[in-house]
């Protein structure tokens, strides 16, 4: 628990942040040469500011509607005005960090059942290049579009405060804070469009990654992350749900055959990313959030912008509130039988949104300071009392962590450390039939990549 002094100091810093997009960095920039304000250490990372998050959501709501089919040209109303504002916020952050970020609008005309005549989908990206370039990329995303009860109604006011003004604000606040540091990975802060009409923004960024050769180490998608009051009246302000797939959606027949022999139904890259989020949540107990790992790709019979990334083979998870309020999602603004319907700012909890933002930042920083995950890990040890684990070397890894658990357990139970020049380890007395294994690459301060499950290689890789 924070002391009264700490709370007072935090309130002062947060108030200063509200007055300036990046006050701490701006003060440093005034004292140092251009661009030198970025810090390599992250142990002094600033906390997310609830007031700044609220101001961003209020600004998003002020555009009236952000429906994908709303005006792209109106100066103050519609999806176009919202996207231009988001790009402008990224530009301010880039200026305050000495040009550490660039702003890129990626666009494509797309169509579907909810966009029958096609529409220009525009994703607004803030790109902070890391030392690994495009070989190690982390995406933090939220969708900027909104809707009401009728998914084709592009005219009515659609505040979209929590869905997904919360995720959009989180992405911009993460960019403001994380731009104060340097990373090994390239960070992409993504404001995605067209989610409500068919996950178009998610599809566009996944296809862009494939076309441009980005190696996506992780996608952290944030959708409905700013509420704590459930439809049934429950308040859940100490838990965030993280959804992940176990078996890769992109798995081909050869990979399926290898998995059926080795196991690993609970160990795809997305599931490993979920476990990393749980690990960071437990380590950063000052954030005050339990990471509730849900073992399915998304909420039952529903979807989000991380799903197209999964379909193309990228590790991706969805953050969402611990309890949902369906009166405040996809609803026309109205009151019926004493119940207020609509996704408005007053229904949100910005202290909670700040905690989810801090968790995203902590996870992204751990992954960004670690190397990419090993591309493969292979087991041997049939008819033996010992198990041999081999893995592909990772450039500039500072070591490797070999995880193991009994084959009847869903969570890792132990680990061994191997030096940076190692690509194999013998685990004496550990029978391969009775255990599962995975390998993570380590950064200079023990930061971990997601863990690569160890099993038989696909036949076509032999």
Same domain as 418, residue 279? no
Give domain status of residue 42, yes or no: no
CB 106 within 8 A of CB 87: no
Same domain as 198, residue 87? yes
Encoded tokens for 377: 């890990």
CA distances in angstroms from 217 to 103, 314, 446, 452, listed in the order given:
21, 7, 17, 11
pLDDT given for residue 14 in this prediction: 77
Assess whether pLDDT exceeds 70 at residue 29: no
CA distances in angstroms from 73 to 60, 82, 194, listed in the order given:
16, 10, 16
Assess whether pLDDT exceeds 70 at residue 349: yes
Give domain status of residue 284, yes or no: yes
Tens of pLDDT along 95-144?
A: 999 999 999 999 999 999 999 999 999 999 999 999 999 999 999 999 99
Give domain status of residue 40, yes or no: no
Same domain as 398, residue 351? no
Tens of pLDDT along 367-422?
A: 999 999 999 999 999 899 999 999 999 999 999 999 999 999 999 999 999 999 99
| Domain termination residue (choose one: 319, 338, 369) | 369
Give domain status of residue 18, yes or no: no
Give domain status of residue 340, yes or no: yes
Assess whether pLDDT exceeds 70 at residue 337: yes
pLDDT given for residue 399 in this prediction: 99
Q: How many residues does the chain have?
A: 462
- CATH code (residue 422): 2.60.40.10
Assess whether pLDDT exceeds 60 at residue 434: yes
**Which residues lie below 8 Å from residue 84, measured CB to CB, with a gap of 6+?**
none
Same domain as 220, residue 144? yes
**Into how many domains does the chain fold?**
2
Residue 306 domain boundaries: 49-369
- CATH code (residue 179): 3.40.630.10
Q: Give me the sheet containing 186-192, strands edge to edge.
A: 101-112, 115-128, 186-192, 137-143, 216-222, 316-321, 239-243, 290-294
Same domain as 109, residue 165? yes
| Domain termination residue (choose one: 302, 334, 369) | 369
Which has more confidence, 13 or 371?
Answer: 371
Same domain as 414, residue 276? no
Same domain as 150, residue 282? yes
Tens of pLDDT along 152-168?
A: 999 999 999 999 999 99
Model confidence at 270, pLDDT cuts 50, 70, 90, reads very high
Same domain as 249, residue 199? yes
Average of per-residue pLDDT values in the chain: 92
Same domain as 195, residue 131? yes
Same domain as 410, residue 346? no
Is the backbone peptide bond immediately before 186 cis, with ω within 30 degrees of 0?
A: no
| Domain termination residue (choose one: 369, 385, 402) | 369
- Distance CA(254)–CA(103), nearest Å, equals 40
Give domain status of residue 316, yes or no: yes
Same domain as 190, residue 106? yes
Same domain as 225, residue 309? yes
pLDDT given for residue 91 in this prediction: 99
Give domain status of residue 29, yes or no: no
Give domain status of residue 427, yes or no: yes
């Amino acid at each position: 628990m924070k002391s009264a002094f700490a709370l007072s100091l935090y309130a002062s810093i947060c108030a200063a942040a509200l007055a300036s997009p990046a006050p701490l960095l701006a003060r440093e920039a005034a004292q140092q040469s251009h661009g030198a304000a970025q810090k390599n250490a992250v142990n002094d990372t600033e906390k997310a500011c609830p007031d700044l998050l609220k101001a961003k959501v209020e600004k998003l709501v002020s555009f009236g509607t952000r429906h994908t089919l709303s005006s792209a040209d109106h100066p103050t109303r519609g999806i176009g005005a919202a996207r231009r504002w988001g790009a402008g916020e990224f530009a301010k952050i880039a200026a305050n960090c000495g040009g550490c970020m660039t702003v890129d609008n990626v666009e494509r005309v797309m169509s579907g059942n909810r966009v029958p005549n096609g529409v220009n989908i525009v994703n607004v990206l803030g790109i902070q290049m890391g030392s690994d370039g495009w070989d190690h990329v982390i995406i933090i995303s939220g969708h900027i579009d909104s809707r009401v009860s009728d998914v084709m109604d592009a005219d009515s006011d659609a505040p979209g405060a929590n869905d997904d003004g919360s995720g959009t604000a989180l992405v911009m606040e993460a960019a403001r804070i994380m731009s104060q540091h340097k990373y090994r990975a390239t960070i992409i802060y993504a404001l995605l469009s067209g989610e409500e009409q068919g996950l178009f923004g998610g599809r566009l960024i996944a296809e862009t990654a494939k076309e441009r050769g980005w190696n996506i180490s992780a996608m952290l998608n944030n959708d409905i992350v700013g509420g704590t009051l459930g439809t049934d009246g429950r308040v859940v302000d100490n838990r965030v749900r993280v959804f992940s797939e176990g078996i890769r959606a992109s798995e081909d027949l050869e990979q399926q055959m290898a998995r059926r022999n080795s196991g690993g139904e609970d160990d795809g890259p997305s599931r490993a990313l979920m476990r990393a989020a749980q690990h960071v949540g437990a380590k950063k107990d000052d954030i005050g959030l339990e990471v509730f790992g849900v073992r399915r790709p998304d909420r039952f019979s529903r979807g989000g912008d991380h799903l197209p990334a999964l379909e193309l083979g990228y590790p991706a998870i969805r953050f969402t509130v611990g309890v949902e309020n369906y009166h405040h999602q996809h609803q026309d603004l109205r009151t019926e039988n004493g119940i207020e319907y609509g996704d408005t700012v007053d229904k949100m909890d910005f202290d909670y949104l700040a905690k989810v933002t801090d968790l995203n930042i902590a996870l992204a920083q751990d992954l960004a300071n670690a190397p990419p995950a090993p591309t493969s890990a292979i087991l041997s040890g049939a008819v033996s009392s010992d198990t041999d684990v081999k893995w592909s070397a990772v450039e500039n890894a500072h070591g490797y962590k070999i995880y193991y658990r009994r084959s009847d357990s869903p969570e890792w139970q132990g680990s061994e450390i191997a030096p940076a020049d190692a690509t194999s380890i013998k685990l004496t007395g550990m029978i391969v039939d009775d255990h599962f294994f995975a390998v993570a690459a380590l950064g200079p301060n023990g930061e971990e990549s997601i863990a690569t499950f160890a099993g038989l290689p696909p036949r076509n890789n032999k």
